Amino acid sequence: MSDLKITKLDKYYGTNHVVKGIDLEIPAGEFTILVGQSGCGKSTLLRTIAGLETADGGSIEIGGERVNDLPPRDRDIAMVFQNYALYPYMKVRDNIAFGLRARRTPKAEIGPKVQRAAKMLAIEHLLDRYPRQLSGGQLQRVAIGRAVVRNARLYLFDEPLSNLDAQLRDEMRGEIKRLHQELGKTMIYVTHDQIEAMTMADRIVLLREGRIEQQGAPLELYERPATKYVAGFLGSPSMNFIPCTLSVAEDYGTVMLPDGVTLSLPPSRVAALAPFRDRSLLLGIRPEHLSRATGEHRRGLAEIEVITDLVQPTGSRTYATFRLGGVEAVAELQSHDVSQPGERLKLFADMNRAVLIDAATERVVGNG
């Protein structure tokens, strides 16, 4: 088990600067997820850590050892790819054992190691089958088994679940997280799926255009985003962004929307927001922080009235779409709170949980 330290890492493809001076430290035993939109540099960063790509600047240290000049084999890294990369002419047993044999592991140790990995992944009954005889989920388990059978310093996963259907992805997310808890190894996982990132990671590293936009524990990024990009990327449905202006007088503050709706701020937030009065801002509020208004008025809840344009029931919850402040917004309500478009609703906006964003810099303000 090893830690990873990346310092001012750069990677170019011709004149295209893909990874831009990244600094990142991952403690031993942590499950870190690199997440971001396609083209943000997350897979390139992972491949550079593995030695499959050459760094054009900066340093990579694994367990305190600089590995920039080491070939992939000598970095002692196990990697799971999106396309499984199994040998079709080998049985599952031999696919899992391949890396051990390549490293000249004593023959007497290989069988027990393969058996243990297969048991952890519930594929013991598949050991004598060929890859062509397996389903997608079984193939992915074999690929993971081939990685975890080794006692590697780092385990790298490059979008391993993207080829699976939704139900199987849910199942495999739990399996991989359980595997990490059992092994306690340092794992770095790449995905574009924010649900995978939120449910699996000890820490999320959110990349944007080759740079780290924000990193931290999943709930830290979700509840205290540093920028509009972070706030909008995490969460489904995504956060609502509504133009607004801020008024502050002593210990009282309000947010005014373009359609004249005024929302009061909790007194505890006014002092931190005071420097941003009269500035062009965006009100960011998540759909789950808009709820059907009841007679109980708690501190920080601001009441609004809307007319629904679209109703999308999901079973346990219903998504209601409406216009607020001149833009489209979504509320995540209880399943029977709204039944059809055109319905007039009174909602509470939880201003304790809302964020305000400087429209010019797209940075969250007044969060201190």
Could you give the number of structural domains in the chain?
2
Q: For the chain, list residues with pLDDT below 50.
A: none
Q: Is 334 helix (H, G, I), strand (E, B) or coil?
A: strand
Q: Alpha carbon 226 to chain centroid distance?
A: 15
DSSP 73: G
Are residues 227 and 266 part of one domain?
no
Are 204 and 265 part of one and the same domain?
A: no
**For the whole model, what pTM was predicted?**
0.90
**pLDDT value, residue 171:** 82
First to last CA, the chain: 36
Distance in angstroms (rounded) separating the CA atoms of residues 319 and 327: 16
- Phi/psi for 68 (5° steps) reads -50, -40
Same domain, 98 and 217: yes
Tokens of 330: 């979504």
Say if residues 235 and 286 touch (Cβ distance below 8 Å): yes
According to the model, what pLDDT value does residue 176 have?
Answer: 86
CA–CA separation, 129 and 190 (whole Å):
29
| 94, 95, 97, 100 alpha-carbon torsion, rounded to 10° | 130
The boundaries of the domain holding residue 80 are 4-233
What CATH number does residue 247 fall under? 2.40.50.140
The residue from 188, 210, 233 where one domain ends is: 233
pLDDT on residue 250: 76
Q: What is the pLDDT at residue 368? A: 56
Query: CATH code at 40?
Result: 3.40.50.300
Residue 356's pLDDT is what? 96
What is the structure's pLDDT at 103?
Answer: 84
SS3 252: strand
Phi, psi of 312 (to 5 degrees): -125, 95
Q: Single out the residue in 195, 210, 233 at which a domain terminates.
A: 233
> What is the model's pLDDT at position 251?
78
